[in-house]
Amino acid sequence: MKKLLTKGQLAVLIVFGVLIVDQIIKVWVKTTMYWHESIRITDWFYIYFTENNGMAFGMEIFGKLFLTTFRLAAVGLIIWYLARIIKRNYKTGYIVCLSLILAGAIGNIIDSVFYGVIFSESTHSAIASFVPVGEGYAEWLYGKVVDMFYFPLIETNWPEWIPGIGGDHFIFFSPIFNFADAAISCGIVALLLFYGKYLNKNIQPLAEEVKE
C-alpha cells in the first residue's frame, strides 16, 4: 500500500499544523482578553492571559534581544538537522519529535519578532488590537510571548511544621504556557524517552560532517 505522506511532507504538516493552532489561540487571547484576565474551565484548568519576555513557561534569564537571536539561530540549526535526517531516512517517530520542537520554537519566535510591531499593548484596562506595522507596543524582535494555559493541579498550604515555608501558599504546577511550549515539551520528552540511544548514535556522524 502506497504511503499517504513522505517523511518530509509529514514534518512540514506537523510544523504548519502546530503553528496555525498556536497562532490562532494566541491571537484570540491577545485580542479578546485583558492582561491577566482569567477564564475558569475547571478547578484545575484556566485560560489565564499573560505575556513574558523570556523562554518557555515564563522563565526570564537573559536579555530579550539575546533570547530572540538565540531562538533564530536554534531554529536554523534544527531546520538543517531535520532536512539531513529526512534525507537519510531516519525513523519517522524521531522526525516527528524534532518537527514538534521546531514548530514550537518558530511559534514563539513569531511572537518575539512580530507581535510588538503589529499589536497595541495589553493592559488590565485595555484589550490589544491590530495596529499598522511599526505602531505597536515594541520594536522588531522585542515582542512579548503570549501564554495562556494554567493548570493549578494542587493548591494548598505547606504544613506549619516545615521550617522556613510552613504555612506558605503552594501550587503544584504553576507555570503558564502556550501551545508552542507544549509542542516543544512533548517533542523533547518523547525524544528522550523513546529515542535517547538513537539520538546519541546518529548525531555524531552529523556533528563530524559539520566540522568538515
Q: How far apart are CA 12 and CA 6, in angstroms?
A: 10
Among 127-131, 169-173, 191-195, 197-201, top mean pLDDT goes to 127-131
Query: Could you read off the pLDDT of 151-167 as tens digits, one per residue?
Result: 998 888 888 888 888 78
Catalytic annotation, residues? 147, 181
Domain boundaries, the chain: 7-211
Torsion angle, alpha carbons of 84, 86, 88, 89, to 10: 170
Tell me the whole-structure pTM to 2 decimals: 0.87
* Cα atoms in the Cβ-side hemisphere of radius 13 Å centred on 97: 20
Please write the tens of the pLDDT for every residue from 76-93.
999 999 999 999 999 999
Mean pLDDT over all residues of the chain?
88
